[in-house]
Amino acid sequence: MKWGKRIGAAVVGMAAVLGVVTAPAQAVTAAAAPDISLANVKAHLSALQTIANQNGGNRASGRPGYPASVSYVAQKLRDAGYNVTLQSCTSCAGSNQNIIAEWPQGDANQVIMLGAHLDSVSAGPGINDNGSGSASILEVALTLARENPAMAKRVRFGWWADEESGLRGSKFYVNSLPQTERTKIKTYLNFDMIGSDNWGYFVYDDVASVKAVFDEYFRTIGIQTEGDTEGDGRSDHASFKSAGIPVGGLATGAGYTKSAAQQQKWGGTAGRPFDSCYHRACDTLSNIPDTPLEKNSDAIAYAVWKLAVGTSTGPDFSLGLSPSSGTVQAGQSATVTVNTATTSGAAQAVSLSASGLPAGATATFNPASVQSGGSSTLTIATSASTPNGTTTITVTGDGTSVDRTAQYTLTVGDVSVRTFTNGTDFALNDYATVNSPITSSATGAATSPVKVSITGTHTCSEDLRISLKAPDGSTYSVKPTGSLPCTDLGTRTYSVPVTNEAASGTWTLVLYDAYAQDTGTLDSWTITV
């Protein structure tokens, strides 16, 4: 039987029978938080383990497993209706991203923020450190979206890059906030390692009033806590604390040794570390017991409901976009799913509109209005005259009682760019094949087609045969856009139907004329995406 969830004063009565010192019944009843599904938390951990398995055994910042972890978490949040921002951390290893997700309800000037670092060490998959904190706050966030309570304060979640190299992601986020935005964060709660195999129950003791919220929950289930001394200054709450933001959080212990007194209090094994796989390859799914993971996840939800959930003031709804950003070339269209959810009161009719479109772009909704809880497809169509650049488009849901907005970031112009460099003359002789290495650098994934422009003079009996070889060995045939005379080559444009590939490195342009009569020199070529 689980205590402390939706049973109010009954919890106090049972705890009193057991001789546990309890908080007043009113305090416990006020935070009627839902039970957080242990199965769902473990499913997130399983996904993170799979990501590590597929990416060299870890999810370290600067390694492929980290952006894969970001994609998993961010998509779950977008699907639930959160406003999600991926913040590029330029001071992090590999310039990886923080995830910032905000539930669009409650007073935006009073923010309760929860965070956990999403990266692991390079030695292992980091399922306790810190998949446990990351998965738990993700499920709390998804539960908040499903429950849709009326909110007194705004709730914001953060998943941090590169904690393991010195709290870099959280430092970058805090340092990037203007002072006016920092003051809106009334409390930051941090969760770093909450599923240790030889666990304790540690509560950050930086701010007594914040610690009291967690202690209140643990008292209702008969668990004593201790202040967390091992984590002082060693996790992401330190970034917020140094900026003057009140902090709190939970931990179950890392490399410190459990004492005999702590064994008496919590069970487990004295003389052993709280986490025997701390920063090791064995920090896998098998390193996570259910008990601390479940109780700490429920404690997180208790704190959110206690600190941020308010009394309903009337019908309301949320509005979210999936995805929240996109890139198109001029003349192309972007498709966005507009999700709504009833957050309090009865469902209401919501009319949808978009503003802030770039020149030459139009927006259509299908359908143009929904009942809150429904969804619509937004199509943003650009024209050939739409200028390159990035625009923030505001989508407005005009409800019968309230209006809600969400932002979509549209980039026109290919930001997935390859730059190819080649400035050498290459002689093409009889029956010759020229293999020209071309240095390329890439950002993002290439789009199709690639256009090849060749400048030079070539006398021949047949058209040139040209192919492009990618760094992974793939070969693409080059076809001219029109007929190609053999004499006076001049400047010719060819196209290559390259599929999406993110490939920096050495590409090879291969030119072949099996029936060349004279020596021709091809001066140079450029390749653009």
**Residues noted as catalytic:** 163
Calculate the alpha carbon distances from 289 to 183, 227, 231, 283, 294 in Å.
Answer: 38, 22, 21, 12, 9
Calculate the alpha carbon distances from 227 to 129, 190, 196, 224, 278 in Å.
Answer: 19, 14, 16, 10, 20
Single-letter amino acid code for the residue at 323: P
Single-letter amino acid code for the residue at 354: A
By CB atoms closer than 10 A (0-12, 13-18, 19+), residue 88 is exposed
DSSP secondary structure code for residue 278 in this structure: T
**What whole-number distance in Å separates Cα of residue 318 and Cα of residue 151?**
11
For residue 354, give both structure tokens. 């978009």
Paired strand residues for 317: 342
Paired strand residues for 495: 451, 479
**What whole-number distance in Å separates Cα of residue 298 and Cα of residue 309?**
15
**What whole-number distance in Å separates Cα of residue 488 and Cα of residue 528?**
23
234 Cβ contact partners less than 8 Å away, ≥ 6 residues apart: none
Q: Which residue has the tokens 């996570």?
A: 288
Q: Is the dihedral of CA 171, 176, 182, 184 positive or negative?
A: negative
**What whole-number distance in Å separates Cα of residue 285 and Cα of residue 49?**
7
140 Cβ contact partners less than 8 Å away, ≥ 6 residues apart: 36, 114, 297, 300, 301, 304
The vertex-152 CA angle with 400 and 355, nearest 5°, equals 45
Single-letter amino acid code for the residue at 35: D
